[in-house]
């Protein structure tokens, strides 16, 4: 438990939250939040004045950091110009946001369907794939998370799916995960080849004529920060082409510079043959106003030129959110944030985490790319017994999280892992500070 705020107004907010807010993914009676008063750059301050270095970007979305003046100004200007407009009218903010997004893909993808977030982006991508192919089934990985709406949560592979399985037409496969390989692999090359052979078998046994889409996080996020080995995404693209399956790339976490390229799939796929549907949210505008979308390949978009699309959202392409997308992309470009993510990841954060793994008795594995990393904690390095069982936490994990937070470092603990995803402007000095705190807690 975190200490209750000493500040009177902070205590009032804390008590109101407990009294009236029903919180996500939580046992309500055990909910014990820090009350945040302000945020700037890569830091947060609670109502008692304590500063925290944010190495989680909340839930991996504050890509340009907090209170970026250009992004705040874009929202203020849009509110003054046009704060709201329904989906049945065109408006400048939505049209320009769509143009800015499609410009990232050359000529292959020229349409965007805007949503309120990542879950409904995946929901609509699944719907598009089913209508386009005339097929029903969707394949996705066991270690995955795609959102908490009807089809998206059933496409999810992790334990959050279990109490939410109301949609049908879904099957799962094992993706590459060398540290705990399902295929007995000892190298990345073996893991890639064997995972692709497994996917082919799943396709063949599920029935190619029944499969509408393969939905795949370009870098698995909440289920472990699993970076695909070289050739894996190319292999998935080839299987989709062979069997007429729509390839949906979930870039909700990995998009917009997080991995050291604009999109995670770009590390492995040729620009001439990208995924058919690309779902985005979070980093699309750094979470400043809720929005997501499906970036649609030309053949799928063209399919609906003379066919009714049976889907829509009241706030699709909301002007306040759309007005911040272009500014967000300009900040990422003008401030070199994609290059900064790549450099900090390869030169500072990655080497520091590998050094930590060598010195700590409980760090079994570290993995990541750009500013997207996970530390996997174990009871025994030889047996790889996790520090928390699958789908759960443990007293040890709770103690580690409390120690990191008390030291002023915010991370994203999930299962037996500590996820690290700082805002993209993070500096070498801030990264060294985070590494020092991690070392003090995990390798004292």
In a domain, residue 16? The reply is no
Q: Are 26 and 53 in contact (CB under 8 A)?
A: no
Residues 315 and 378 in one domain: no
Inside any domain, residue 327:
yes
- In order along its 444 residues, the chain shows pLDDT tens digits of 556 788 898 899 999 998 999 999 889 998 889 999 999 999 999 999 999 999 999 999 999 999 999 999 999 999 999 999 999 999 999 999 999 999 999 899 999 999 999 999 999 999 999 999 999 999 999 999 999 999 999 999 989 999 899 999 999 999 999 999 999 999 999 999 999 999 999 999 999 999 999 999 999 999 999 999 999 999 999 999 999 999 999 999 999 999 999 999 999 998 889 999 999 999 999 999 999 999 999 999 999 999 999 999 999 999 999 999 999 999 999 999 999 999 999 999 999 999 999 999 999 999 999 999 999 999 999 999 999 999 899 999 999 999 999 999 999 999 999 999 999 999 999 999 999 999 999 998
Residues 398 and 436 in one domain: yes
Are 282 and 64 a contacting pair, CB within 8 Å?
A: no
Q: Of the candidates 274, 309, 334, which is a domain's last residue?
A: 334
For position 26, what pLDDT does the model report? 87
If asked whether residues 299 and 272 sit together in one domain, one would say yes
Residue 121 in any domain: the answer is: yes
Q: What is the pLDDT of residue 270?
A: 87
Together in a domain, 241 and 342: no
* Same domain (yes/no): 46, 154: no
The pLDDT score that the predictor gives to residue 244 is 98
Task: Please check whether residue 13 lies inside any domain of the structure.
Answer: no
Last residue of a domain, which of 303, 334, 365?
Answer: 334
Query: Which residues, at least 6 apart from 440, have a Cβ–Cβ distance to it below 8 Å?
Result: 407
Q: Do both 215 and 360 map to the same domain? A: no
User: Of 302, 334, 366, at which residue does a domain stop?
Assistant: 334
> 109-115 and 292-297: which strand pairing?
antiparallel
CATH number at 366 reads 3.90.1150.10
How is residue 247 written in tokens? 């390839």
In this predicted structure, what is the pLDDT of residue 120? Answer: 97
Looking at the structure, tell me whether residues 218 and 365 fall in a common domain: no
Of 148, 182, 153, nearest in space to 167 by CA: 153
**pLDDT at position 153:** 95
Query: What are the φ/ψ torsions at residue 44 (nearest 5 degrees)?
Result: -125, 150
pLDDT at 271: 84
List phi, psi (to 5°) of 118: -75, -35
In a domain? residue 199: yes
On whether residue 9 sits in a domain, the answer given is no
Domain tally, the chain: 2
HEC string of the chain equals: CCCCCCCHHHHHHHHHHHHHCCCCCCCHHHCCCCCEEEEEECEEEECCCCEEEECCHHHHCCCCCECCHHHHHHHHHHHHHCCCCCCCCCCHHHHHHHHHHHHHHCCCEEEEEEECCHHHHHHHHHHHHHHHHCCCEEEEECCCCCCCCHHHHHHCCCHHHHHHCCCCCEEEECCCCHHHCCCCCCCHHHHHHHHHHHHHHHHHHHCHHHEEEEEEECCECCCCCECCCCCHHHHHHHHHHHHCCEEEEECCCCCCCCCCCCCHHHHCCCCCCCCCEEEECHHHCCCCCCCEEEEEEHHHHHHCCCCCCCCCCCCCCCHHHHHHHHHHHHHHHHCCHHHHHHHHHHHHHHHHHHHHHHHCCCEEEEEEECCEEEEEEEEECCCCEECCCCCCCCHHHHHHHHHHHHCCEECEEECCEEEECCCCCCCHHHHHHHHHHHHHHHCC
Q: Does residue 222 lie in a domain region?
A: yes
Do 76 and 191 belong together in one domain?
yes
Residues 321 and 345 in one domain: no
Range of the domain at 401: 34-64+336-442
One domain for residues 59 and 140:
no
Residues 46 and 167 in one domain: no
The tens digit of pLDDT for each residue in 259-310 reads 999 999 999 998 889 999 999 999 999 999 999 999 999 999 999 999 999 9
CATH number at residue 188: 3.40.640.10
Does residue 383 sit within a domain? yes
**Residue 214 sits in the same domain as residue 341:** no
């Amino acid at each position: 438990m975190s200490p209750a705020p000493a500040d009177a107004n902070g205590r009032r907010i804390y008590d109101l939250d407990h009294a009236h807010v029903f919180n996500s993914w939580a046992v309500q009676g055990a909910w014990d939040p820090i009350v945040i008063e302000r945020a700037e750059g890569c830091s947060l301050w609670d109502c008692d004045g304590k500063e925290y270095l944010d190495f989680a970007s909340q839930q991996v979305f504050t890509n340009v950091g907090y209170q970026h003046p250009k992004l705040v100004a874009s929202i203020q200007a849009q509110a003054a110009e046009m704060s709201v407009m329904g989906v049945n009218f065109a408006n400048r903010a939505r049209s320009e946001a769509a143009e800015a997004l499609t410009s990232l893909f050359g000529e292959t993808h020229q349409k965007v369907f805007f949503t309120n977030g990542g879950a409904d982006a995946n929901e609509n991508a699944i719907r598009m794939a089913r209508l386009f192919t005339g097929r029903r089934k969707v394949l996705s990985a066991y270690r995955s998370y795609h959102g908490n709406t009807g089809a998206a949560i059933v496409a999810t592979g992790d334990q959050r799916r279990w109490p939410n399985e109301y949609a049908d037409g879904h099957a799962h496969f094992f993706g590459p995960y060398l540290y705990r390989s399902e295929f007995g692999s000892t190298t990345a090359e073996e893991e890639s080849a064997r995972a692709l052979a497994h996917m082919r078998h799943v396709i063949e046994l599920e029935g190619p004529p029944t499969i509408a889409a393969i939905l795949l996080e370009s870098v698995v996020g909440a289920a472990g920060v699993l970076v695909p080995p070289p050739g894996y995404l190319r292999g998935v693209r080839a299987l989709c082409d062979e069997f007429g399956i729509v390839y949906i790339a979930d870039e909700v976490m990995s998009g917009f510079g997080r991995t050291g390229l604009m999109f995670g799939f770009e590390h492995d796929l040729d620009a001439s043959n990208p995924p058919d549907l690309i779902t985005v949210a979070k980093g699309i505008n750094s979470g400043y106003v809720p929005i997501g979308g499906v970036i649609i390949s030309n053949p799928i978009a063209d399919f609906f030129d003379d066919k009714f699309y049976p889907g829509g959202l009241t706030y699709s392409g909301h002007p306040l959110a759309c007005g911040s997308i272009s500014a967000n992309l300009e900040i990422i470009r003008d401030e070199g944030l994609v290059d900064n993510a790549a450099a900090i990841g390869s030169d500072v954060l990655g080497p520091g985490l590998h050094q930590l793994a060598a010195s700590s008795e409980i760090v079994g594995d570290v993995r990541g790319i750009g500013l997207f990393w996970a530390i996997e904690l174990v009871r025994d390095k030889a047996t790889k017994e996790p520090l928390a069982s699958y789908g759960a936490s443990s007293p040890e994990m709770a103690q580690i999280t409390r120690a990191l937070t008390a030291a002023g470092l915010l991370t994203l603990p999930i299962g037996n892992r500590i996820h690290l995803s700082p805002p993209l402007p993070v500096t070498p000095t801030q990264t060294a500070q985070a590494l020092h705190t991690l070392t003090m807690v995990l390798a004292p």
